[in-house]
Amino acid sequence: MVLQDRAKATREAIIAGAALVFEEHGFGTASISLVAEAAKVTKGAMYFHFKSKDELARAVLEEQHAVTMAAGERILAEKSPALETMIRLCGAFGELLAADGVVRAGIRLTLEASAFDQDVRRPYEDWMATMGRLAEQAIVEGHVRSSVDPEFLSRYIVASFTGVQMVSNVLTGREDVIERIRQMWEILLPGIIHESSGLDPEALAALVAETTVVARRAVGAGA
């Protein structure tokens, strides 16, 4: 059991070190030596757990997906109205991007996936499926117009979020990512809210900033 615990801790340290290296250097210029140094392990320990840089990248992507899914499950478990849940999911992901190096590294690797022949569609497909189901529920709840296509809306939200966080990263290192996500929803909501719902777009958009505690709990759980 002690050996298993030690091996698990070593593997986690390697993934955390790999995330630091991939986030800073990208896949192309990252090296096993840099990862071993960042993780504070020997190359022998590194190769015991991961045979190649490709395997390391895949492990970081898998961990990123696990962390974001865990944060999403916490929010979904609260059973809030569907439209509120959609907004808070975006806020939680934004907070993870600001606070969690594994998530940031995973996003960078997603953009470079062709370099190591990795299929990165699953996280996006999972997120769009979740948003699509929530959009359908929001229509039933009378908060989103029935004329809105849930599939189209889910794709638009995921694409918009992706663009917003990328521009935030380029301009401010994601320091303003939560505010930019809030603005995204403030622009989007008037076009989809049911006219008889009585919902306030500004108040709803502000929910983006109320998810930070949930997201930080998810970061702590994955540490």
Residue-wise pLDDT tens digits, 78-87: 999 999 999 9
To the nearest whole number, what is the mean pLDDT of the chain?
88
**Do residues 55 and 93 make contact, with C-beta atoms less than 8 angstroms apart?**
no
CATH number where 86 lies:
1.10.357.10
- Count the residues in the chain: 223
Tell me what pLDDT residue 212 has.
56
Residue 202 covered by a domain? yes
CA–CA dist 32, 47 (Å, integer):
9
**By mean pLDDT, which of 40-49, 81-90, 125-134 is the weakest?**
40-49
Question: First vs last Cα of the chain: how many Å apart?
Answer: 20
Tell me what pLDDT residue 211 has.
67
Tell me what pLDDT residue 42 has.
87
Residue 36 covered by a domain? no
**Do residues 87 and 208 make contact, with C-beta atoms less than 8 angstroms apart?**
yes
Residue ranges making up the domain that contains 131:
64-222
Q: Token pair 């999911």 is at which residue?
A: 89
Residue 158 covered by a domain? yes
- Spacing of C-alpha 83 from chain mean position: 19
